[in-house]
């Protein structure tokens, strides 16, 4: 019978089976708490009748998800905002920092890719600055910018700039000389050559860099928001930890994954749009 | 003597040989091409054919010497000199049609979109590409079709000089034959001057008015200019019947097989070496069987003291 199913269908069935198995194991692994009446006197004296803080079972997480997702945008004060609002803040910070980085990285990458001198001049700085953990910039950013919101955006900016810069430079430098010669024999000016030949030729490499960058930016925003606080999904995770609400922590972890996946999927669509076969 | 339409004067190209010295590819090469003429250049690899082509296209600079077209010195690439590269050089992210309109838009920036597209379709049709196939990307086209697109792109721009750099080098023999016919067809209707590199003797005889023969490098030079005395329109199956065909072919084979080596490295004292004109015409009763003899009618390019 399985012979009639396509590869995609078989894979989907397998994924669902794995999900169910995982959830069942998780649910079963949580030790059930005995009701107080079933306890021996000794156990009651040892305090085992108290409700223990444990890892919540998946059913609790699902109930929480339903509750949160059915009203994602409520706002009941600084410590109680809907998950939609928190994620909205995080996406706003990520996109602002990310687009500022793209604004700098792509033109600069073009320059570095087109000029050997620029490449050699910029390379030592890139090599030193690139491996720095973006969070290491945080104290300096807070001191210089004096604004936690802007500092978080700066951290996103600084972490998403490198993959875009390096990939743009690499893509531009690797454009086949034949295609540049086509532009030259057609007397295209340097700006038109850049837009009609080099940009489409390097686009797949540039978009790959942008895809790596958005992934890193989404990783970093959680940590950055844990530090700067106030709003955002990172702050939400930390706040719920302080509240010892592990159900919310697990739910928000899942939401971080889903949003990250959607951001990546958007770039994968873009990547397919600019891809070409030689 | 009036200058030819395209005149190559004392062209020298030297490259560093990687050991501190210099490698002279060719030295003081001079020749000319008349307007409307189809000239092929034949020679072994390494004699600098492609270098000459790049200099004519303006993509490379010679060590010394000048190229003049229409009395103007060639400096840098120009739309007046169209190039068809061996590897087609189509932009892979554009469809066949868009590759041609890319060129037409550059040539005629003030044309409307519709006019540009109609013009491009017209030239694609001339090389046998019509219908849905023009919307395919180069990766979805066969090698032969890609080269047709490339030829259409070059012709659609009406350059004063068309440079073909071994355009059929990467194609199989049968496809090559068909596209040679397409090329003859599209060229026939124009007064297009063509300068073409090839490795294929039969191809050169079929297409050219004159074949330039190069000696082996280093110090390569254009030794001979062989006139093809077979009337046009030519056809692959008919030219082999022409009495001059094998006489010319034998001469070319002899040159490439033997004399290109013997003449190699032979430094000529004259610093303005022009190719010796060879006219082989067995149908001419006065010169029957007289190969390598001075023709009666003065050819366009003679080794003369101008």
Q: To the nearest whole angstrom, how far is the Cα of B25 from the nearest Cα of chain A?
A: 22
What is the distance between the alpha carbons of residues A87 and A94, in angstroms, rounded to a whole number? 10
3-state secondary structure at position A79: coil
CA-nearest of B84, B62, B80 to B13 is: B62
**Residue B36 β-bridge partners:** none
Chain B residues contacting A, CB < 8 Å?
Answer: 57-59, 76-79, 81-83, 85, 87, 89, 91-94, 102-103, 106-107, 137, 139, 157
What integer best gives the mean pLDDT of chain B? 84
Look at residue A166 and tell me whether its pLDDT is greater than 50. yes
Instruction: Write the DSSP symbol of residue A243.
Output: T
Q: What is the pLDDT of residue B18?
A: 80
Which whole-number Å values give the CA distances from B206 to B177, B198, B234, in the listed order?
A: 10, 12, 7
Give the whole-angstrom CA distance, residue B196 versus residue B190: 16
> What radius of gyration, in Å, describes the C-alpha atoms of chain A?
25
B98 found inside a domain: yes
| Strand pairing report for B22-33 and B6-16 | antiparallel
CA-based nearest residue in chain B for residue A273: B93
DSSP state of B5: S
Q: What is the DSSP string of A140-208?
A: HHHHHH--HHHHHHHHHHHHHHHHHHHHHHHHHHTS-HHHHHHHHHTT--HHHHIIIIIHHHHHHHHHH
Exposure b/e, B136-152, CB count within 10 A at least 16 = b:
ebbeebebbbbbbbbbb
The pLDDT of residue B17 is above 60:
yes
Of B57, B59, B91, the CB nearest to A179: B91
Q: Does pTM top 0.80 for this prediction?
A: yes
The reply to whether B82 falls in a domain is: no
Which pLDDT score, from 0 to 100, does residue B47 have? Answer: 80
- ipTM beyond cut 0.85: no
**The predicted structure's pLDDT at residue B288:** 44
CB-based burial label for B103 (10 Å; 0-12, 13-18, 19+)? buried
- What is the DSSP-derived secondary structure letter of residue A57? P
Residues of A in contact with B149 (CB under 8 A): none
Q: What is the 3-state secondary structure (H, E, C) of B117-157?
A: HHHHHHHHHHCCCCHHHHHCCHHHCCHHHHHHHHHHHHHHC
**Interchain CB distance below 8 Å, A178 and B137:** no
* pLDDT surpassing 60 at residue B241: yes
Query: If you search the block for the tokens 């390598």, which residue do you land on?
Result: B292
Cβ-based burial of B114 (10 A; exposed 0-12, middle 13-18, buried ≥19): exposed
Domains of chain A are: 71-274 (1.10.3720.10)
Most distant CA pair in chain A: distance in Å? Answer: 94
pLDDT at B289: 45
DSSP structure class, residue A75: B
Question: What's the whole-number mean pLDDT along residues B175-189?
Answer: 85
B219 vs A47, which has greater pLDDT? B219
* Cα-trace Rg, chain B: 20
Mean pLDDT of B65-69: 90
Residue B114 domain-assigned? yes
The answer to whether A120 and A255 have CB atoms below 8 angstroms apart is no
- What integer is the mean pLDDT of A239-267? 94
Query: Partners of B14 in the beta sheet?
Result: B24
Name the pLDDT band for B299 (thresholds 50, 70, 90): very low
**Alpha-carbon distance A110 to A100, whole Å?**
16
Whether residue B148 lies inside any domain: the answer is yes
What pLDDT digit, counting tens, does each position of A184-200 carry? Answer: 999 998 899 999 999 99
Q: Is the pLDDT of residue A13 over 80?
A: yes
H-helix or E-strand spanning residue A62: helix A58-70
Alpha carbon distance B218, B27 (integer Å): 9
- Grade residue B218 by pLDDT with cuts at 50, 70 and 90: confident
In a domain, B25, yes or no: no
pLDDT of residue A224: 94
Partner residues linked to A118 by β-bridges: none
Helix (H/G/I), strand (E/B), else coil: B204 = helix
pLDDT, one tens digit per residue, over B99-157 is 999 999 999 999 999 999 999 999 999 888 988 999 999 999 998 899 999 999 999 99
Is residue B99 a part of any domain in this protein?
yes
DSSP A250-261: HHHHHHHHHHHH
- Pseudo-torsion of CA B260, B264, B270, B276, nearest 10°? 0
Q: Decide: helix, strand or coil at residue B293.
A: strand
Residues of the domain holding B125: 92-158
The helix/strand/coil state of B110 is coil
- How distant is the Cα of A116 from the closest Cα of chain B, in angstroms? 19
Among chain A residues, CA nearest to B81 = A185
Number of domains in chain B: 1
Among candidate residues B194, B217, B263, B238, the one with its CA nearest the CA of residue B56: B194
Judge whether residue A232 has pLDDT over 70.
yes
Residue B303: which pLDDT band, with cuts at 50, 70 and 90?
A: very low
For the ranges A193-197, B5-9, B298-302, the lowest mean pLDDT is seen at B298-302
Residue A142 half-sphere exposure toward CB, CA atoms < 13 A: 11
Separation CA B82–CA B75 (nearest Å): 14
Q: B269: closest CA among B7, B64, B27?
A: B27
Which one of A181, A182, A196 would you mutate to disrupt binding with B, by most B Cβ within 10 Å of its Cβ? A182
Put simply, the answer to whether B102 touches A200 (Cβ < 8 Å) is no
The two tokens of residue A78 are 């600084």
Measured over the CA atoms of residue B104, residue B107, residue B113 and residue B119, the dihedral's sign is negative
First CA to last CA across chain B, in angstroms?
6
- C-alpha A166/C-alpha A162 separation (Å) is 6
Contact B137 A278 (CB under 8 A): no
The length of chain B is 306
**pLDDT band at residue B286 under the 50/70/90 scheme:** low
Does residue B297 surpass a pLDDT of 90? no
CB pairs under 8 A between A and B: 56
Q: State chain A's mean pLDDT as an integer.
A: 91
**Who's near A84: CB < 8 A, 6+ residues apart?**
A72, A73
Facing A182 at nearest CB: one of B91, B93, B137? B91
pLDDT at residue B298 in the model: 42
């Amino acid at each position: 019978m399985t012979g009639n199913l396509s590869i995609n269908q078989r894979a989907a069935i397998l994924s669902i089976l794995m999900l169910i198995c995982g959830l069942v194991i998780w649910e079963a692994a949580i030790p059930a708490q005995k009701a107080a009446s079933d306890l021996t006197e000794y156990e009651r004296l040892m305090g085992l009748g108290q409700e223990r803080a444990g890892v919540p079972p998946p059913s609790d997480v699902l109930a929480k998800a339903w509750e949160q997702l059915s009203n994602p945008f409520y706002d009941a004060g600084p410590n109680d905002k809907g998950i939609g609002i928190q994620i909205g803040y995080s996406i706003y910070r990520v996109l602002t920092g990310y687009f500022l980085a793209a604004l700098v990285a792509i033109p600069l990458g073009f320059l570095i890719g087109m000029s050997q001198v620029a490449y050699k001049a910029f390379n030592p700085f890139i090599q030193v600055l690139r491996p720095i953990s973006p969070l290491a910039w945080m104290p300096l950013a807070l001191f210089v910018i004096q604004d936690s919101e802007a500092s978080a955006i700066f951290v996103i900016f600084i972490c998403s700039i490198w993959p875009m810069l390096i990939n743009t430079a690499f893509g531009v430098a690797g454009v086949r000389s034949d295609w540049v010669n086509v532009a030259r024999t057609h007397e295209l000016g340097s700006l038109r050559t850049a837009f009609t030949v080099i940009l489409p030729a390097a686009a797949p490499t540039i978009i790959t860099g942008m895809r790596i960058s958005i992934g890193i930016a989404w990783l970093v925003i959680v940590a950055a928001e844990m530090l700067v606080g106030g709003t955002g999904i990172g702050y939400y995770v930390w706040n719920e930890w302080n509240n010892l609400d592990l159900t919310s922590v697990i739910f928000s972890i899942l939401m971080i994954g889903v949003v990250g996946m959607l951001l990546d999927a958007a770039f994968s669509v873009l990547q397919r749009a600019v891809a070409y076969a030689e | 003597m009036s200058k030819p339409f395209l005149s190559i004067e004392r062209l020298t190209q030297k490259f560093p040989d990687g050991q501190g010295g210099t490698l002279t590819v060719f030295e003081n090469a001079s020749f000319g091409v008349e307007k409307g003429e189809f000239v092929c250049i034949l020679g072994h690899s390494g004699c600098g054919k492609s270098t000459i082509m790049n200099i004519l296209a303006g993509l490379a600079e010679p060590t010394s010497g000048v190229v003049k077209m229409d009395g103007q010195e060639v400096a840098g690439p120009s739309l007046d000199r169209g190039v068809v590269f061996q590897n087609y050089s189509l932009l892979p992210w554009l469809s066949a049609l868009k590759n041609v309109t890319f060129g037409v838009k550059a040539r005629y920036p003030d044309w409307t979109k519709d006019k540009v597209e109609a013009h491009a379709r017209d030239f694609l049709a001339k090389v046998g590409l019509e219908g849905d196939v023009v919307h395919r990307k180069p990766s979805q086209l066969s090698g032969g079709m890609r080269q047709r697109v490339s030829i259409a792109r070059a012709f659609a721009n009406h350059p004063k000089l068309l440079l073909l750099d071994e355009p059929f080098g990467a194609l199989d023999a049968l496809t090559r034959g068909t596209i040679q016919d397409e090329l003859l067809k599209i060229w026939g209707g124009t007064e297009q001057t063509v300068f073409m590199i090839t490795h294929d003797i039969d191809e050169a005889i079929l297409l050219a008015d004159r074949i330039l023969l190069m000696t082996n490098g280093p110090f390569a030079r254009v030794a001979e200019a062989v006139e093809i005395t077979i009337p046009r329109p030519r056809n692959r199956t008919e030219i082999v019947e022409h009495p001059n065909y094998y006489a010319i072919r034998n001469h070319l084979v002899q040159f490439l097989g033997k004399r290109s080596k013997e003449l190699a490295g032979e430094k000529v004292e004259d610093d303005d070496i022009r190719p010796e004109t060879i006219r082989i015409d067995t149908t001419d009763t006065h010169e029957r069987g007289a190969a390598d003899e001075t023709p009666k009618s003065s050819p366009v390019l003679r080794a003369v003291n101008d």
